[in-house]
Structure 1
Amino acid sequence: MKILISILMLIFFPFFTVFMSLLPPDPLYGIEYEVRVINGFTNNSSLPLVIWCASKDSDIGGRALQEHDDFSWLVKTNFWITTTSQFSCTVKLDRTRRSFDAFKVPRDIYRCSAFRKCSWLVMEDGFYFSDDEVNWKKEFSW
């Protein structure tokens, strides 16, 4: 009986190891999401889209985005699938300014889960969200 168990372990252990390596990272260590904000304006070459993002605990910083530039960062949840806080951004173009939650745990852990990507496209008529950067849905206007 011991020999049979040993043979089965030798046969199935490599398959088990490969299978486990294909699984996403262990939720005990948290899940990582990429948050990305893209300048989708078609003609603002003379005036950049200015963005500044921060959470309650950390200042991610900001950038001046020219056409099709992006600003991105990684957010990692913890064991309880939360982060220390939400990540908010302020976007400014000339005198127009708008703040929004770029990543908020209760809202985004499900809608960003397929690719672990939360993307925002800022355009002339508003802010669009996508989890795959192919299908965009308008979330709100300026």
Structure 2
Amino acid sequence: MMKTLLLVFIATSFFSQAFAQEKRKCIFSPKITIKVLNNLPQGSGSLQMHCASKDDDLGNRTLAVGDEFDWTFCDHFLSKTLFFCHLWWGARQKAFDVYDKDLSQGKRHEFYLWAAQSDGIYLGTSDSTQSLVKVYSWD
């Protein structure tokens, strides 16, 4: 009896620890990283931004030219993850989805680089600005 209780305690402790770490390590789901980069010309001023999801408000940020802001989250297969950002640069602005699991049409990546440039907002799926593609123009 005592041996059985000890085994149950050890097993419970093990699984509790494993599930506690799951939240940090994305064991059962991909870890997604989103990065927003101020890639505006030198001397053009700062980029204001606000990003959020239904559950997480990442707050207001001010990025100087060359600065970036990034965050990581676990994209659980049962969730409908959506993150959006609103960017302001002087009188120009743009609000858009930076990650929408439902609209990715099976083309999900684990890294998204959004870069604000003078003519619009660009997207890449690596940490290099070499492969950026223009997605949005400023409003």
Q: TM-score, normalised by structure 2?
A: 0.71
C-alpha root-mean-square deviation of aligned residues, in Å? 1.9
Distance in 1 separating the partners of 2:107 and 2:39: 21
Q: How many residues align?
A: 111
Alpha carbons of structure 1 residues 111 and 79: separation in structure 2 relative to 1, 3 Å: closer
Q: Retained in 2: the 8 A contact 1:90–1:97?
A: yes
Say which of 48, 52, 69 aligns to 1:71: 69
Q: Retained in 1: the 8 A contact 2:101–2:108?
A: no
Q: Deviations over 1:90-122 (max 9, x none)?
A: 101122221011111123484442xx1011011
| Aligned residue in 2 for 1:136 | 132
Q: Which runs of 5 or more residues in structure 1 are unaligned?
A: 1-24
Distance in 1 separating the partners of 2:100 and 2:55: 14
| Aligned residue in 2 for 1:32 | 31
Say which of 85, 90, 96 aligns to 2:92: 96
Is 2:119 the counterpart of 1:125?
Answer: yes
Distance in 2 separating the partners of 1:39 and 1:103: 18
Query: C-alpha displacement at 1:32, in angstroms?
Result: 0.8
Q: Percentage identity across aligned positions?
A: 25
Q: Which has the larger radius of gyration?
A: 1
Distance in 2 separating the partners of 1:72 and 1:101: 15
Q: TM-score, normalised by structure 1?
A: 0.70
Moved over 3 A (4+): 107-112
